[in-house]
Chain A
Amino acid sequence: GENVEQHPSTLSVQEGDSAVIKCTYSDSASNYFPWYKQELGKRPQLIIDIRSNVGEKKDQRIAVTLNKTAKHFSLHITETQPEDSAVYFCAASTRGDYKLSFGAGTTVTVRA
């Protein structure tokens, strides 16, 4: 099955700086890569996703890049704000499959 690895496990950044989280996946057939943000005690919420026919996608301060050859994808948060502090999970899904395989999560702390 799919194996998703996520790094780093914790990330502390100064407010206004950028944060980058990287994930690798094992199944070359994977074609859907969502990112979820989970605040303490709350539900995971989709913040951005990318499908394998796109190399990069941006939504305001958040961007995701995908490198299918290397089988990795990254989340970029620019101009970080205190409300960006949360746990971020990457995930992957394979065409013809429906379950998401999640990374272990990155705890992001934005220092004011």
Chain B
Amino acid sequence: NAGVMQNPRHLVRRRGQEARLRCSPMKGHSHVYWYRQLPEEGLKFMVYLQKENIIDESGMPKERFSAEFPKEGPSILRIQQVVRGDSAAYFCASSRRDINLDTEAFFGQGTRLTVV
């Protein structure tokens, strides 16, 4: 089991461009979570998805940010018209079931987005 795979590991975008971050959950995991980590801060919840469904996007800015987890393929976090404040590490986690049901969330290596 390769674990949670995120790509790219590092992404540089100019202001105004789009950033697409990909996350392939662990095999057998159907729950995906995206977190953002600013320098020297903890991880902040952004969005929770199951296959083809957004369950909770309360932590995600309403503008410019979107997420999907299609039936086939990885989960995608998309940031349109990036600004310098979007620079952060974005982590994806996956779990077999709801983490509140005696299961744990496994994190990917993260994508470090730098907006120049």
Contact, CB under 8 Å: B109 / A43: yes
B98 neighbours in A (Cβ, 8 Å): 98
Total interface residues on A, CB under 8 Å, equals: 27
| B residues in contact with A98, CB < 8 Å | 31, 33, 48, 55-56, 98-100
- Contact status A93-B42, CB under 8 Å: no
- What is the number of contacts between chain A and chain B, taking CB atoms within 8 Å? 63
Q: What's the Cα separation between A95 and B99 when bound, in Å?
A: 9
Residue positions of B touching A, CB distance < 8 A: 4, 31, 33, 35, 40-45, 48, 55-56, 59, 91, 98-100, 102, 104-110
- Chain A residues within 8 Å of B, Cβ to Cβ: 4, 6, 31-32, 34, 36, 42-46, 49, 51, 89, 93-105
Which residues from A are CB-within-8-Å of B59?
A: 99
